[in-house]
């Protein structure tokens, strides 16, 4: 498993447990390694939305859509 996949797996686990701060940390670390992955931006948006940080969530969703305008997962 490469480093990004490992970060995503850990981030997803924290997200499922409702530990948003921890999940956000892992997805932000993954984004440092690859800012061109719309799924990473989408996950970040989901986490930020769950934390009530709606403006930041929209920015993340918009980045996801800018990378892949057909991204059906962008919330």
Please tell me the total count of domains within the chain: 1
Is 23 among the domain residues? Answer: yes
Structure tokens at 59: 């920015």
Over residues 12-39, the pLDDT tens digits come to: 999 999 999 999 999 999 999 999 999 9
CB contact burial 4-21 (16+ within 10 A = b; e otherwise): beebbebbeebbeeeebe
Is 34 among the domain residues? Answer: yes
pTM over 0.85: yes
Is 72 among the domain residues? Answer: no
Is 71 among the domain residues? Answer: no
Is 61 among the domain residues? Answer: no
Give the closest residue to 21 by CA, choosing from 11, 9, 34.
11
Query: What is the Cα–Cα distance from 3 to 1, expressed in whole angstroms?
Result: 7
Is 57 among the domain residues? Answer: no
Q: What's the domain range around 15?
A: 3-49
Is 75 among the domain residues? Answer: no
Give the closest residue to 44 by CA, choosing from 65, 28, 55, 29.
28
Is 9 among the domain residues? Answer: yes
């Amino acid at each position: 498993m490469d480093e990004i996949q490992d970060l995503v797996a850990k981030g997803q686990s924290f997200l499922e447990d409702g530990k948003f701060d921890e999940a956000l940390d892992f997805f932000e670390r993954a984004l440092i390694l690859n800012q061109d992955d719309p799924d990473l931006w989408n996950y970040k948006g989901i986490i930020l939305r769950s934390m009530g940080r709606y403006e930041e969530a929209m920015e993340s969703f918009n980045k996801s859509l800018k990378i892949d305008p057909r991204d059906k997962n962008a919330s």
